[in-house]
Every structure is written in structure tokens, then in C-alpha cells.
Structure 1
């Protein structure tokens, strides 16, 4: 019934007027991105969770001259493992093996009809993947929502986590204290309205980018490509569930419990915050202030270091790669 409802609703929505310029040149993408190539070979790990079997896509890149260490890269909410390409290449060239999973509901992984999204469940899925590859210890790098997941992973599995690196993570503040409650249905209706121009507008408003260019547009177009698929409501529903996860499961209150060495890499121009469109301009101006949140978070985490990248937005590894990768490699090689 749920699938029929989604398809019927999408059919109705597609009858609405569409600005052809907004979709010009976009490629329709299927739910599992089978018609979108990742930069490295993709394998799949079977996840048995919540009385269902899912497939978790991942890339595992073994260095030609391995140094014996593994790095795991965790993607953000609006992304997948493919956007780590240049980071993977740089880490691999330094001898690190690199593991890059797509979380359930994202990228090439399964898109459930029903799933209770929790950071604990995603961390458990990821730990099981790590164990299946016989990796005993690794460093974990998380960007955006991946920073929340990386934090939860380090809290749950400190014995597995050598170092924790958070790159413009969200969850540095508790947004549910500032925005009105939104049900999953509310988030779902918002997702159904998205197209390329809406995605681009949000990312520019949040200071994801400096001057908008193809480096950013590539990832906005990937999200927009899903909106052209008749099954897009499944993507929208999973996105709504992950919004709810982010807002109801903040990690900000547990930073003091992190036991592993931690590095924060923060682009200070970033203003990413969920729900800014739901509050007054006065409240909005207090949200997502990464030029303040970086220092506040460093002070909460024992044995933490902070690297601030001035005038860099939400995507340091895309916008300012050299400024991002050099302090990262220095930290990993200490």
C-alpha cells in the first residue's frame, strides 16, 4: 500500500508546472544509483536489521604501499561516498587503506520502505561491515551528518577507533530547542517539493560554497536526478526519516565522553542548520555559526584539536582541498 501511495502521489505532483531550465541537462537517476558511476569499485555488505535484509554499498581501496593503517570516511546527509574521491586518492597515496560506506538509505545502498533510523543502528551496521573486513582498528572521518555518525561510532566502539576527525559536522548544537516540531510527514512534504534550483538555493544560503561552480553543482545535480525518477517518493521518505533522526538524536551532550584523540576541521563560513526556514530572522541569525561552534566543541571534547579554515564553507574537502588535506594528513601521521 505504501508503495502504491508514493507512486500515485508522485504522478499527481509531476502534473504540476515545471520550469524546464531547472531540469535541463539533468540525468534521471534510479534509487540505487546503478546508472551513476562511483570513482572506485563498489561492493555490497548484507545488513540484517529490524527483521529485514538490506544491502550496504561500500568502497574499500587498498593502498599500493600500505602503511598498515585504515581510514574510514563517512558521508553527509546530502551526499554519498563518491564525493570523497580526491580525499581517497590522497590518503591512499600516503599508504592508508580507505573504507567508504554508503549508509542504508543513501547512495547505492538499500532504500527501505520501513526503517527506524538511529545513529546507533547505523553505527552498528558500520561496525559489522568493519568486522567483516577483518579490520581491528581504524581512524574515522565524518563530514556533516557523517560527523554525528562518526561521533556515535567512537562513543560506542572506542576500542576500534584510533582517531576521530570531524569535518564541519552538524549536531554541534541542539536545533530542536529553537525550531518548531516537525513530524516526519512534514519533512516528507518538504522533500517532495525539491528540484535542482531548490537544492542549489539551500546550499548557497547555507554558505556551502563560495562562488557556485561545477564542483558543487555535481552533487546538487545528483540529488536532483533522483527527483526525476517516478520512485522519488521513496528517496523523499527516507530523507524525512533521517531529518527526524538528526533532530531528535543530537550528540552535542556527549562530546565530553569521547575517549579517543579528536581533530575538528571547520570551515568558518558555514551556516548549515536544519529548520532555519521555520524560524524568525532573529532566531535564524543564531543558528549554524561555525566560527563559534568549532571553538565551543573543541573545548567540550577531551584531547581535541581545532583547525579553522577561514572563509571556507560546509565542504572543505571540495572547496579548499589543499587547506583541508594538509592538516588532516599531519594529524593522521602524528
Structure 2
């Protein structure tokens, strides 16, 4: 009787004991967020724009922040990067709003708080059109445009697609300043990207960003953004998030904007952290190719020479996100250019 009771007790309580013992390791993995980043706090009120695209009902999350300072009657549209969200613009939104700008920061389809379609034909043209529909709904006809990383490629495409609606274009360490495929980076299939994205972890994101974005440096405030991305990828929408991410990587690699920089008509600012080494596919590129790509100290100057009405501002020693690494220095440069051009 005593032996049976002991076995019954162990059978009943052992799973709970094992789970309790595992809790510290589970906690170390960080939070998990919903497929549209449910559970993650945005710095300003989050709104949603519902629309139809490619026969599907979709929605874009966005922040629309009014001027906090004396309004200057101008609107700034912010476009986030691949491993970023509208929320990562938090310090820029504050600086621009304080300076009198209305600031609109959407999450593109496939990212963050927006829909992750089961099937979608991703193109920069499609994302630009989606964003134009959002601005139409908000009654905004002309904007100054600020794009970071992959958002720099999208901002370039948007400016080419809707030139009469873009007053100024500013690009922060945009990727796509070179055509990786033409330079010899091997092609990855969508299935290969998907398998890679399924393995994403906070540790992997942190290590990649530290080495590629920030030249081996790290700041505690970057952790929030690592948790944001890892939590989205580890949440209940894990496979759908990974699949959309794979489709987006294929879009980035196969749809260069490099050859059209010469066609930009509006005043354009390149804000370049020179220590950045971001290049899509560099991890599978042959050594000789890898050594040639992702050199922003060279790329910024080269592309500034291609854009007719360009200004280049470099941040020596800073990485892929100077607006996050040294926000005061970055915003002083950006606001100065916006007011004089």
C-alpha cells in the first residue's frame, strides 16, 4: 500500500517537478509574442489599417504621432528594416515630433504587428502601394521619407513609384547599395531561407547584430529589440512568421534598386554608419566575394555619386543603426538637413 502510494505520488507530481526545474531555462529564452506581435508594447498608440491585397483581407499596424512641438505642417513617413519594426523608431519619432513633424510609422505586411499571409507575392512595388493606400486613408498627400536598412530599399522604390508625393528622401544605412547576386553571392531558395528562419533564436540574432551591425559592440538598450524579434519568431505564429520572412528575403535578394538610384529626382540624404558590414547572403558567399561586399565606408560614397541631388553624412565608427546607437548625433544631422533642403 505504501509502495503503491509512493508510485502514485511520483506519477502525479514528477511532471510538475520536472516542469518547475525547467522554468529557469525556459525563462532564459525570453518572452514569446503573438503572430502580429501581440504582447509587445509599442511606444505610441498602435492603430490598424484594414485593406484588401491579392484577394486577401489584410491589416497594417501603424503609429500616427502628431507634432508635439510647434507644428510645421509637414509629415514624415518612416520605413523600418528587415530585423526591425515601427517600434524601433521610438527615439526618432520623439525627436521628429518634438521638432514639429507629424510622424507616421507603419509595419509592413509580413512584419511585426501586421498580417502574415499564408501566400503573398512580395515585391517592393506591392509594399509601396500598400503604404500609399494607408497614406490616402490618413489624408496625407506629400511626405518626407525616412527608410532604414531594408526600409531604405522600400523607400527608394516608393520614391521612384510616387515621385510627386515625396518631398525629401533620407536613407539610413540602406541595404541594396550593391547588387549581391551580380557580385557573385549564391542564390538561396525560399525553402532554404525558410529552414534557416525556423532556427532563429535570441542568441543567434544578438550575435549576428553585434558582429555585423555594430562592429563587435553592444549596448544594453539593444536587448529589447532582440527580444522583440526573437519573441515574434518563437511565438504561436512561428511557422507563418518564418515563411513570410523567407519570402521577404527572396524579394530583397532578387529585386535590386541599385540600378535606379540615378533616377531619383528629389533631394536625397544618405546617413551612413561606416562600420556596418551588412550584406544579404554574405554567410554563404565565397571568401573572395564576401571580402568585397557590405563595405559601407565605400558604398555610401559610391551611391552618393549616383544620386543626382544627394548629400552624404557619414558617422565614422558607427554601425547599421546610427539612429539607435547615437541618437542625439544622428537626429541633429537629420533635422539639420530636413530644414535646409
Q: How does 1:298-317 map to 2 (within 5 A)?
A: 298-317=304-323
Partner SS, residue 300 of structure 1? coil
The question of 1:215 aligning with 2:245 is answered no
Q: Which residue of 1 aligns with 2:45?
A: 41
How do residues 10-21 of structure 1 correspond to structure 2 at under 5 angstroms?
none
Q: Matched residues in 2 for 1:27 and 1:123: separation?
A: 32
**Structure 2 residue corresponding to 1:255, chosen from 233, 254, 261:** 261
Contact 1:144 1:170 in 2 (8 A): yes
Gaps of 5+ in 2: 1-21
> 1:322: Cα distance to partner?
1.6
1:1-334 alignment runs, 5 A limit: 24=28, 26-64=30-68, 65-177=70-182, 178-208=184-214, 211-334=217-340
- Asked whether the 8 Å contact 1:209–1:216 carries over to 2, the reply is no
Aligned length: 317
Structure 1 residues 25 and 233, CA, compared in 2 at 3 Å: closer, same or farther?
closer
C-alpha deviations, 1:234-290, integer Å up to 9, x for none? 110011000000000010000000011100000000000111111233221111000
- Does the CA-based 8 Å contact 1:209-1:319 persist in structure 2? no
2:9 alignment counterpart = none
* Match of residue 9 from structure 1: none
Preserved contact between residue 29 and residue 202 of structure 2 (Cα < 8 Å): no
Alpha-carbon distance in 2 for matches of 1:231, 1:36: 14
Give CA deviations for 1:76-113 in whole Å, capped at 9, x if unaligned: 00111001111111111111000000000111111111
3-state SS of paired residue (1:41): coil
Aligned residue in 2 for 1:11: none
Q: Indicate the SS of the match to 1:159.
A: helix
Normalised to the residue count of structure 2, the TM-score between the two structures is 0.90
CA deviation after TM superposition for structure 1 residue 53, in Å? 1.1
2:76 and 2:48 mapped to 1: Cα distance? 18
Deviation of the 1:228 alpha carbon: 2.6
Structure with higher Rg: it is 2
Report the TM-score when normalising by structure 1: 0.92
| Contact kept? 2:35, 2:236, Cα under 8 Å | no
| CA distance in structure 1 between the partners assigned to 2:301 and 2:225 by the alignment | 29
Distance change in 2, residues 1:279/1:210 (3 Å): closer
Distance 1:179 1:23 in 2: 38
SS in 2 for 1:305: strand
